[in-house]
Amino acid sequence: EAFIIERNGRQKACLVPVWYFLPDLPKNKVNEELNELHQNGEKPSLTVSDKNELEMLFKETVKRDEITLKIILPHGYPNVAPKVYISPIVRDAPHRWQDGALCIFGAMINWNPGKHNIVFVLSLARKWLSNYNEWREKGRWPNEAENDK
């Protein structure tokens, strides 16, 4: 639905509802998860991407390096798994998808929209970040058995 504003027979503006520019996400679900993040002391910055997806930015400090964790809630969330990126990152860092997203779920089929949420994704991203730092220091990615100790 759009409204055309005309003056003297000339189109001057097109008005569309604000929801047209917002991500296609269940607002109650997102609000619940944001409240849970805030209760856990997290304060993400929120933006809307060019693809009209909600981005949550978390600032992390690892060994004096400032790192930004970006969690993207795609259209269809929570039925579609979020994507997570970090920057800056070494170009050849392992355990990432072709588009640079972190491989935190293994296969994406491990995402369970009824069980998992942004807090869960953030914890996996931080675990990935810990593994990434070990890889940078020691030249090897820790295996699952070492990580769970």
Tracing tokens 């914890």 back to the chain, one arrives at 123
**Burial code of 63-94, b = ≥16 C-beta within 10 A, e = fewer?**
eeeebebbbbbbeebbeebbbbbbeebeeeee
CA distance readout (Å), 103 to 4, 11, 47, 111: 45, 48, 23, 12
Contact predicate 56/70, CB 8 Å? yes
More confident residue, 62 or 130: 130
**Confidence bin at 109 (pLDDT 50/70/90):** low
More confident residue, 122 or 109: 122
Q: What is the pLDDT of residue 15?
A: 73
**Confidence bin at 16 (pLDDT 50/70/90):** low
Q: What is the pLDDT of residue 147?
A: 46
**Confidence bin at 28 (pLDDT 50/70/90):** confident
Q: What is the pLDDT of residue 19?
A: 58
Dihedral angle over CA of 141, 59, 73, 85, nearest 10: -30
Of the chain, the percentage scoring pLDDT greater than 70 comes to 87
Q: What is the pLDDT of residue 12?
A: 81
The continuous run of DSSP H or E covering 116 comes out as none
Q: What is the mean pLDDT of residues 38-67?
A: 90
Contact predicate 96/103, CB 8 Å? yes
**67 DSSP β-pair partners:** 60
Q: What is the pLDDT of residue 51?
A: 87
CA distance 13 to 52: 22
